[in-house]
Amino acid sequence: MNQNQPNQNRPLPQKREEVRTRMGSSITAPSQAVKGKTEATRVSAAVRPVKENQAGKKTAPARQPGRKKEDKKNGEGWKGLRSTAIRALIYIALVVGISTLLSVFAIRWANDIFALVKEEVVADVVIEEDATISEVARILEKEGLIEYPLIFRFYENFKHRNDDPPLAFRAGTYTLKSTMNYDQMVSMIKYKRSRTIVTLTIPEGYTVDEIIDFFVDQGIGTRAGFEDAINNFDYEYRFMEELNKLELSPDRRYRLEGYLFPDTYDFYTDSSEVTIVDKMLAAFESKFNEAYYGRLTEIGYNLDQVVTMASLVQAEGRLTQDFYTMAGVFYNRLKNWNPNYLNSDATIQYIIRDHKVDLTQEDMRRDDPYNTYLYRGLPPSAICNPGWDAIQAALYPEDTNYYYFVSDTDGSTLYARTLAEHLNNVAAVDAAREKHTSVD
């Protein structure tokens, strides 16, 4: 018998059928016994048991996790643990780093606030009128007195948050040291009392001397302080740039004569002289805007010459409507007279300072560069501080043929083309004056 051939006498197909039958029987009729332990074992090995779920559907039993899956799960757990540890270390490092950095800055800030250990720097600082805490902080930093202006602002604002009146700084020049703490610096430059405001009117035509006397009489500033502020302080205005370009006469009495604009102002009674002068100069700057500089070119005179001309008109004229004609007369004398003497009585009044109703021949002969009877052309500077109407008249004079004028007793002005006409006008004014005096 060939061993490779199946045994023909063994009923193998029948047994396979029996297996299928028993399988079905075991599934559909679990109450029937399975014959033979060996066959049952075979069936169990050949076919995986099937369970029914609640819906009646057959499902395979859950697979038991193998070893490889357990190893993978353990690896993932280790990696998660390691990632958490790394994150914790980074967090701790950040906290430590930030804390260290803040500690360093806190020490430096404290040193700046309280001047614990600082190299000494001495500086003269200039505090402007109405300076803010931010401006003061920048000045102190610029001079090397503090290192952290933002901390200075925060500290002082917080400390003085409930002050009444609020924290304010007194204008002036102060000598401060970097070894002073914030409070010591502020105590030197802040106001220690409430400030009083006064409203004052500077009349048109006042001279610098009269303006100084006016403020000093009000208890504001000193003569020496005003003279220094007017002649020496550097003010940042367009007209000051033009003035600084000119070669001013050495006979000029005050550098800023003519530019202290007459108006009504509010001043603090404890304001510095520089602050007061600056306020009047700012008013002049606001009036004499960019458009008028082009007009200077048109008429062929510089700014200082026009301001000087305006001062003559202001001092000579009594009524605003005469300003433009009077300016035309003075320009005619400058351009067309030979020699071109202006012959202005107002310049004599400026020399003698004490105003006189009638000038004497001795007054007229005083040898002074401001005497326009003896010196040709314009005087060395303005002779008063003119108002805006007089400045406008000097910029836009009336085109006229007049060369002479005389003021009448009622304040009006009489004009003449020739000397003969002028003498007649003078005689008429004298007669009216005598008549008025006799009536009184």
Express as a percent the part of the chain with pLDDT over 90: 54
Structure tokens at 330: 């003075």
Q: Are 384 and 350 in contact (CB under 8 A)?
A: yes
- Residue 9: is its pLDDT beyond 60? no
- Residue 27: is its pLDDT beyond 70? no
Confidence (pLDDT) at 217: 94
Please tell me whether the peptide bond between 262 and the residue prior to it is cis, using omega within 30 degrees of 0. Answer: no
Average pLDDT over residues 94-98: 76
| Domains, the chain | 122-189 (3.30.1490.480), 197-287 (no CATH), 300-439 (no CATH)
Most confident range (mean pLDDT) of 97-106, 114-123, 215-224 is 215-224
Residues in the chain: 440
| Mutual angle of helices 133-142 and 149-159, in 10-degree steps | 140
pTM of the model: 0.63
* Cβ neighbour number for residue 186 with a 10 Å cutoff: 20
pLDDT in tens, 289-323: 888 999 999 999 999 999 999 999 999 998 898 99
- Residue 421: is its pLDDT beyond 80? yes
- Residue 96: is its pLDDT beyond 60? yes
**Which amino acid is it at 404?**
Y
pLDDT in tens, 390-400: 999 999 999 99
Confidence (pLDDT) at 90: 80
Give the closest residue to 209 by CA, choosing from 384, 25, 30: 384
Residues 6+ apart with CB under 8 A from 253: 208, 370, 380, 381
Average pLDDT over residues 126-147: 93
Express as a percent the part of the chain with pLDDT over 70: 79
Q: How would DSSP label each residue in 387-426?
A: -HHHHHHHHS-------EEEE-TTS-EEEESSHHHHHHHH
Residue 300 DSSP label: T
- Residue 10: is its pLDDT beyond 60? no
- Residue 34: is its pLDDT beyond 90? no
Please tell me whether the peptide bond between 339 and the residue prior to it is cis, using omega within 30 degrees of 0. Answer: yes
Residue in the block written with tokens 């390691």:
82
- Residue 170: is its pLDDT beyond 90? no
Confidence (pLDDT) at 245: 92
- Residue 53: is its pLDDT beyond 70? no
Confidence (pLDDT) at 154: 93
